[in-house]
Amino acid sequence: MEKRHIAFAGVSVAMVLLTAACGSSKDNSAGSANVQPAGGSQTVGAGASASAGAGAVAGATGGYEAGGDTGAAAGSEAERTGPAKQLAVKEDAKLGKFVTDSKGWTLYRFDEDTPKPAKSNCNDDCATKWPAVPADDAAATTGVESSKLGSVTRSDGTKQLTLAGWPVYRFAGDAKPGDTKGQGVGGTWNALAPDGKPAGKTAAADDSLQLMVNNNAELGKIIVDGKGMTVYRFNKDSAWPMKTGCLGACLDTWKPVEAVDTTKVAGLDAAKVTSFKRPDGTKQAAFDCWLLYTFTGDKKPGDINGQGVKGTWFAVTDKGKKAGQ
């Protein structure tokens, strides 16, 4: 009985070590499974309107959590839900340059949105605390390129202003023009810099993102690359240990995602983003130890034509699981 106990403990320790090695390594050595290769406008419309609530702020998932500022000053709701009109660029020591509307209300962006294609993932309770800025009647200003202004259709059919592809919001917790209380909320909300990047930051969650999460209407939250193209995982790969089953002719159809800078991912756990050295010496991105690929059959951002191909290829959820399963 004691020997069986010791043997079981040895197996448990080995499994823990294996898991830790894969989960913590940023560069895993190449391997291959013995399997067969698989084939495999800048015009604007009416915007959304949301009333400010009290006692909650948006969290990292786009919902809300207890605590935070209690809301807006009396009489300010119309200003915080109306058109932005002539934008302005302000500057302070902490944030550097950031964009406001014509009344001076700070404008924000959400890291869990996507710019390519433009997509808002802040709805329902989130949209109450972070009112979407309507796309109509917005004009560029000195320091903001007019070509960067656009619009996105929200889930309720209204048009929201975008800057460099990022949907634009105000914060219900800002009590007066010039407030920046929304900066850093949930680790995912930031004032907008004039180029669409997060004010006060030099990296992460900007238009140079290399991996991000898109809320697909059919599959839910799935990972896409920096161009908005869906990424996939392959059943014939192995995560424990990491090995590739996509070789030879398979690579004509399924393109390995190049290793990414983990400071340039948004909406997913950067600690689970690793790299894998393929047999040809190139480095491939992996998430939760599963190798990532794009599909040549996808022609534009948002396409999911690779989903379920041959029963072995699947889009990857924000948790690293097979989408649709």
Q: What pLDDT is attached to residue 28?
A: 59
Q: What pLDDT is attached to residue 41?
A: 36
pLDDT band at residue 252 under the 50/70/90 scheme: very high
Look at residue 201 and tell me whether its pLDDT is greater than 70.
no
pLDDT band at residue 180 under the 50/70/90 scheme: very high
Reported as a single tens digit per residue, the pLDDT across 72-102 is: 444 466 667 788 999 999 998 888 999 999 9
Q: What is the DSSP letter of 251?
A: H
290 φ/ψ angles, rounded to the nearest 5 degrees: -100, 130
Bridge-partner residues for 167, per DSSP? 162
Residue 154 in 3-state DSSP?
Answer: coil
Q: Which two tokens stand for residue 187?
A: 């680790």
CA distances from 64 to 53, 95, 292 (A): 11, 24, 31
Mean pLDDT, rounded, for 220-225? 93
pTM for this structure?
Answer: 0.48
pLDDT band at residue 43 under the 50/70/90 scheme: very low
How far apart are alpha carbons 18 and 15 in whole angstroms? 5
Per the prediction, the chain carries an average pLDDT of: 79
Q: Is residue 284 within 8 Å of 276, Cβ to Cβ?
A: yes
Reported as a single tens digit per residue, the pLDDT across 295-308 is: 999 998 889 999 99
Q: Which two tokens stand for residue 139?
A: 């004009």
Q: Provide the 10 A C-beta neighbour count for residue 270.
A: 15
Question: What's CA 227's distance to the chain center, in Å?
Answer: 12
Higher per-residue confidence, 54 vs 319: 319
Mean pLDDT, rounded, for 144-173? 94
Gyration radius (Cα) of the chain, Å: 22
Look at residue 109 and tell me whether its pLDDT is greater than 50.
yes
Pairing of strands 166-167, 159-163: antiparallel
Residue 31, Cβ density class (10 Å: 0-12 exposed, 13-18 middle, ≥19 buried): middle
Q: Determine the Cα angle at 186 with ends 232 and 176, to 5°.
A: 130
Instruction: Show Cβ contacts of residue 19 under 8 Å, excluding neighbours closer than 6 positions.
Output: 240
How far apart are alpha carbons 252 and 247 in whole angstroms? 9
Residue 252 in 3-state DSSP?
Answer: helix
pLDDT band at residue 186 under the 50/70/90 scheme: confident
Look at residue 63 and tell me whether its pLDDT is greater than 70.
no
Q: What pLDDT is attached to residue 36?
A: 38
Q: Which two tokens stand for residue 207?
A: 């238009």
Look at residue 42 and tell me whether its pLDDT is greater than 60.
no
How far apart are alpha carbons 323 and 325 in whole angstroms? 6
